[in-house]
């Protein structure tokens, strides 16, 4: 499990993003894979690319713009078969 802050631009443009300080933790969590099957708030979003260069995973602004402003963190859980489950709190 890893907790990341929801940044203003991440919410606007539809990304899960992380700072350089989280690179090691993200690589440990995702095992440096290039694609993950994302479940965002229990919705199946399908396979998404992990952009290691820009430290982000696109999930679509349609999903992030709908989030209430009181939700300020992504909680990431990585499971077998490249499944990434994302909850917001």
Q: Return the CA Rg of the chain.
A: 12
Domains of the chain, CATH where assigned:
2-88 (2.40.330)
H/E run at residue 80: none
pLDDT at position 80: 85
Task: Single out the residue of 28, 45, 1 nearest to residue 36, CA to CA.
Answer: 45
User: pLDDT of 74-83, one tens digit each?
Assistant: 999 999 889 9
- Residue 64 confidence class, pLDDT cut points 50, 70, 90: very high
DSSP string, 5-57: E--HHHHHHTEEE--GGGHHHHHHHHTT-SEEEEEETTEEEEEEEEETTTTEE
> Rounded to whole angstroms, how far apart are CA atoms 79 and 53?
23
User: pLDDT of 27-43, one tens digit each?
Assistant: 999 998 999 999 999 99
pTM: 0.93
């Amino acid at each position: 499990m890893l907790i990341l802050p929801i940044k203003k631009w991440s919410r606007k443009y539809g990304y899960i993003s992380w700072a350089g300080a989280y690179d090691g933790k993200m690589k440990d969590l995702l095992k440096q894979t290039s694609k993950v099957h994302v479940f965002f708030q229990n919705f199946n979003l399908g396979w998404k690319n992990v952009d290691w260069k820009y430290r982000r995973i696109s999930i679509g602004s349609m999903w992030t713009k709908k989030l209430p402003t009181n939700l300020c963190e992504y909680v990431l859980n990585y499971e077998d078969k490249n499944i990434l489950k994302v909850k917001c709190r």
